[in-house]
Amino acid sequence: MKRKAVLLYNPKAGHRAIITHLDYIAKKMQQFGYELSLYRSMAPGDIKSYIKENITVDNTQLILISGGDGTVNDCITGMLEKGLDIPLLILPLGTSNDFANSAGIPMGIKECLALVEEGELSYIDVGKANEKYFINVCNMGLFSGVSHTVDLEMKKKFGRLAYYVKGFEEIQNYQAMDMTITTDKEILKGKYILVLVFNGKGAGGLLKLAQEAEITDGVFNMVCIKDIGFFDVPGLFLKVLQGEHLKDSKVDYITTDKVTIECHNQEQKHFVTDVDGEEGPSFPMKIEVLSNKLRIFLPKKEEEA
């Protein structure tokens, strides 16, 4: 009996890149011995709903998800909420593909599909913030609402640059968050403009934010940026590009498998939270690592000499 695979895709992601690849994907899956069906997302949340209503371990042996970080999050949320343990192949064809970049997943469609035969199927960690899942990052504060508010036409025209333009607009009027960050080892209290809880290595195309992070190590790598002045931002940003920001006195760096984050500002509605580019939960947030929770295709690790 032929194995069955389903391709779930966001047709609007990444300049509609998936459309030109559909026949090639179908051909390769046939060569791999899979009978392929398609589901085209029409609105945010569609893919999660489709998975929960239609996919089972009996009728599907492989899931392919095509889109950016938000589309991938929609998919893994549906899988985890239904308790599905089905191999997942990520085709990173969105405007933002931070998780794929962090995990070393190739950007080319040919190389991605080759992972089915030439890669390795690995269990990875997943983060859970209150009731929301993430595989790359949960962040709060400055820039966290950019992916929710950037105009679709702007994304089509400028790609990732659209996020940076929107982010610069936020910097000028931003207010710091008065926070308490509690782990098993320490309690931090103070004013922060941005807190990032990483499972992956980076966000916003910046892969050096949490260079030591691994998606299989059972811990988060947290980067917490304290309240700094507007004119200090360029200097810190330069350190981020160089991977030197963790040495800065205005940055707290934490590794932990669970954390509680409270925001004490009265007007909490001004402080946006985010999971993988989608709207995150409200404060207070309890965030934990779910170890070895999801099976995905990754490139084989190079053997050490």
What confidence tens digit (pLDDT) does each residue in 246-286 have? 788 889 999 999 999 999 987 765 578 999 988 899 999 99
Question: Is the confidence at residue 229, as pLDDT, over 90?
Answer: no
**Fold of the domain spanning 3-118:** Rossmann fold (3.40.50)
Check whether 58 has a pLDDT greater than 90: yes
Q: What's the pLDDT band for 196 if we cut at 50, 70, 90?
A: very high
Q: How far apart are CA 162 and CA 151, in angstroms?
A: 8
Q: Does the fold of domain 132-289 match that of domain 3-118?
A: no
What is the spatial distance between Cα 204 and Cα 210, in angstroms, rounded to a whole number?
Answer: 12
pLDDT band at 123 (very low <50, low <70, confident <90, very high): very high
C-alpha torsion angle, residues 133, 134, 135, 138 (rounded to 10): -150
Contact in structure between 203 and 196 (CB atoms under 8 Å): yes
CATH code of the domain occupying 132-289: 2.60.200.40
- Residue 239, pLDDT score: 81
pLDDT-derived band at 95, boundaries 50, 70, 90: confident
- The predicted pLDDT at position 249 comes to 80
The mean pLDDT of 92-116, rounded to a whole number, is 92
Higher pLDDT, 158 or 21: 21
Query: Does the pLDDT of residue 181 top 60, yes or no?
Result: yes
For residue 305, the model assigns a pLDDT of 38
Q: What is the mean pLDDT of residues 205-228?
A: 87
pLDDT band with cut points at 50, 70 and 90 for residue 211: confident
Q: How many Å apart are CA 104 and CA 193, to the nearest integer? A: 29
The CA-atom distances, in angstroms, between 133 and each of 13, 148, 161, 220 are 21, 17, 26, 14
Q: Which residues contact 266 (CB under 8 A, 6 or more apart)?
A: none
pLDDT of 139 over the 80 cut: yes
Q: What does pLDDT average to over the chain?
A: 87
Q: Taking residues 153-159, what's their average pLDDT?
A: 55
Domain ranges of the chain: 3-118, 132-289
In one-letter notation, the amino acid at residue 140 is M
Integer Rg of the chain from CA: 19
pLDDT surpasses 50 at 304: no
Which has more pLDDT, 158 or 195?
195
Distance of CA 215 to the CA centre of its chain: 11
Residue 150 has pLDDT above 70, yes or no: no
